[in-house]
Amino acid sequence: MQKVRKAIIPAAGYGTRFLPATKAMPKEMIPIVDKPTIQFIVEEAIASGIEDILIITGKLKRPIEDHFDSNPELEENLRAKGKADLLELVEETTGLNLYFARQAYPLGLGHAVLQAKAFVGNEPFVIMLGDDIMADEVPLTKQLIDSYEKTHASNIAVMKVPHEETSSYGIIDPEAEAGDGLYNVRKFVEKPDPDDAPSDLAIIGRYLLTPEIFNILEHLEPGKGGEIQLTDAIDILNKTQRVFAKEFKGERYDVGDKFGFLKTTIQYGLKHPQVKDGLREYILELAKDLESGKVDNKMNAESHDLEEAKD
């Protein structure tokens, strides 16, 4: 059996749910306290034993490449000032086995994945979405690799979502659970209306796939939203070889969504050694003020928008 060595991180989407912040900045670079989201994903890949990572980028995504490049001037400056701890932080994102490919037009997740065909070759590989942070004792990508080693087949991570949210996800039609949170799947359906959703098990941002997916993607017609949908390709793959769904029981943080981003920031802030105590105190105080109706009005003075300045 071939070892799973390669991961691809699609990061070429427009990030419209996070406008205007993503007008000129990649959403994958939005920081959680002090670390860009995509760095969490790269760290999960490395912790799972992945050796080579291809990031799919597009227009306005250069900051992602720069983040993982060296910055000799900054490094020299920190060295001269004796800031060894900061230097270490800056240097830990360089020298990794990272590669980049461009998706000329964001025609959908399936199309982004297709750009990795030559990089992947004839091996099983992992897809990790650039805006989904997963937290668990064993990294989710490692859980999928472990499951692949038992099943010798593609494994897609899924998670229960509220029924009314099924239209935001790929949803599976599961057969009976085969044990260990593993499901055989009858069908993979992209963004079904809640009335038509075959279950509440949604495809989340981690996939382990066999390379046969590329032949399917090459001939796939656009699906929901006029985009080349990875879910449609997986459904076709499942007709010729088994594709399992593996239920994730850890925490998922959707950083591409505004509320998801806020929750993630608070959760990680409460663990961050430099800010956790202050943040905890602040939240407790805020909760008391919210409860008593005494809400802080300081921000209101600055909250006029740019439209007003134009008048």
- In the complex, which residues of this chain contact ligand UTP (CB under 6 A)? 10-17, 56, 103, 106-109, 111-112, 129-131, 256
Residue 89: which residues within 8 A CB-CB, separation 6 or more? none
Cβ proximity to ligand UTP, 112 vs 171, nearer residue: 112
Beta carbon of residue 25, minimum distance to ligand UTP (angstroms, whole number): 12
Cβ proximity to ligand UTP, 230 vs 237, nearer residue: 230
Beta carbon of residue 109, minimum distance to ligand UTP (angstroms, whole number): 5
Cβ proximity to ligand UTP, 95 vs 225, nearer residue: 225
In whole angstroms, give the CA distance from residue 73 to residue 67. 14
Residue 108: which residues within 8 A CB-CB, separation 6 or more? 222, 223, 225, 227, 228, 229, 230
Cβ proximity to ligand UTP, 17 vs 242, nearer residue: 17
Burial (Cβ within 10 Å: 0-12, 13-18, ≥19) of residue 104: exposed
Amino acid found at 170: G
Closest residue to bound ligand UTP by CB: 13
Beta carbon of residue 14, minimum distance to ligand UTP (angstroms, whole number): 5
Residues in the chain: 311
Cβ proximity to ligand UTP, 10 vs 139, nearer residue: 10
- Beta carbons of 209 and 239 less than 8 angstroms apart: no
Beta carbon of residue 295, minimum distance to ligand UTP (angstroms, whole number): 29
Beta carbon of residue 111, minimum distance to ligand UTP (angstroms, whole number): 6
In whole angstroms, give the CA distance from residue 130 to residue 22. 14
User: Residue 165 carries which DSSP code?
Assistant: G
Beta carbon of residue 228, minimum distance to ligand UTP (angstroms, whole number): 8
Per DSSP, the residues of 272-307 read: -TTTHHHHHHHHHHHHHHHHHT----GGGGG---HH
Cβ proximity to ligand UTP, 54 vs 243, nearer residue: 54
Beta carbon of residue 39, minimum distance to ligand UTP (angstroms, whole number): 14
Question: 125: part of which helix (H) or strand (E)?
Answer: strand 125-128
Structural tokens at position 227: 């985009």
C-alpha distances in Å from residue 179, one per residue of 139, 182, 242: 20, 6, 16
In whole angstroms, give the CA distance from residue 124 to residue 127. 10
Cβ proximity to ligand UTP, 10 vs 36, nearer residue: 10
**C-alpha dihedral sign at 195, 200, 204, 207:** negative
Structural tokens at position 163: 């029924």
Question: 244: part of which helix (H) or strand (E)?
Answer: strand 243-247
Cβ proximity to ligand UTP, 129 vs 217, nearer residue: 129
Beta carbon of residue 142, minimum distance to ligand UTP (angstroms, whole number): 20
